[in-house]
């Protein structure tokens, strides 16, 4: 049993359609606790830094434009095996490949505007949480 924290982002396609509560319900129904949350507008340079790992990918520039196209909700989710659990609740990157009942199957518009981000490893979760939150902004 390992209680973990992971970084989640509700992306602009979801905030635009007023789906913050619907997405959060998926997390809470799966046993994940939202222990920090804020609605922000990313700057271009913040989006570029956050997604720097993808800078050689053909979709990088479009992805940074998309992530700055409207508000996002950044959040820390806590729970047992939270990193893998969140990836499971999110579903596959491309909603066409996502399992029934997952957030991306339910809500994503396409492979880019896919409603949520979630950290993919313990190392990235720690880095990504630090990117958006100070320690005293996280209350478990
Ligand atoms: P995930 O978000 O599932 O971890 P990746 O880390 O591979 O997926 O990609 C980061 C984000 O880049 C995706 O969530 C999606 O918004 C976007 N993306 C990934 N692949 C593509 C693609 N082929 N075309 C356009 N955008 C993409
Ligand atoms: Mg990823």
- Quick: pLDDT tens for 80-102: 999 999 999 999 999 999 999 99
User: Is the C-beta atom of 109 inside 6 A of ligand 1?
Assistant: no
Q: According to the model, what pLDDT value does residue 69 have?
A: 98
3-state secondary structure of 60: helix
Q: What are the DSSP E strand ranges found in the chain?
A: 3-10, 33-40, 72-80, 116-118
What is the distance between the alpha carbons of residues 89 and 107, in angstroms, rounded to a whole number? Answer: 12
**1 has pLDDT over 80:** no
Name the residue at shortest CA distance from atom 16 of ligand 1: 112
Mention every residue, 6+ apart, whose C-beta is less than 8 A from residue 37. Answer: 73, 74, 75, 76
Determine phi and psi for 110, rounding to 5 degrees: -170, -175
**66 has pLDDT over 80:** yes
Q: Are 139 and 113 in contact (CB under 8 A)?
A: no
Q: How far is the CA of 53 from the centre of ligand 2 (A)?
A: 9
What is the distance between the alpha carbons of residues 86 and 79, in angstroms, rounded to a whole number? Answer: 9
3-state secondary structure of 4: strand
User: Is the C-beta atom of 93 inside 6 A of ligand 1?
Assistant: yes
Q: Over range 106-127, report the average pLDDT.
A: 98
User: Is the C-beta atom of 117 inside 6 A of ligand 1?
Assistant: yes
What does the H/E/C string look like for 49-70? HHCHHHCCCCCHHHHHHHHCCC
Cα diameter, the chain: 39
Catalytic residue selected from 117, 118, 119, 132: 117
Name the residue at shortest CA distance from atom 17 of ligand 1: 112
- Quick: pLDDT tens for 33-51: 999 999 999 999 999 999 9
Which of 111, 115, 127 most suits a substitution to test ligand 1, by most atoms within 8 Å of the C-beta?
111
Residue-level length of the chain: 140
């Amino acid at each position: 049993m390992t209680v973990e924290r992971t970084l989640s982002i509700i992306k602009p396609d979801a905030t635009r359609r007023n789906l913050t509560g619907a997405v959060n319900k998926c997390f809470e129904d799966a046993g994940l606790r939202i222990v920090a949350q804020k609605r922000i507008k990313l700057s271009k340079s913040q989006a570029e830094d956050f997604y720097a790992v993808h800078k050689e990918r053909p979709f990088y520039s479009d992805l940074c434009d998309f992530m700055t196209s409207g508000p996002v909700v950044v959040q820390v989710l806590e729970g047992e095996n939270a990193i893998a659990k969140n990836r499971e609740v999110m579903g596959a990157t491309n909603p066409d490949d996502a399992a029934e009942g997952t957030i991306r199957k339910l809500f994503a518009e396409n492979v880019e505007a896919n409603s949520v981000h979630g950290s993919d490893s313990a190392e990235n979760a720690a880095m990504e949480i630090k990117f958006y939150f100070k320690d005293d902004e996280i209350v478990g």
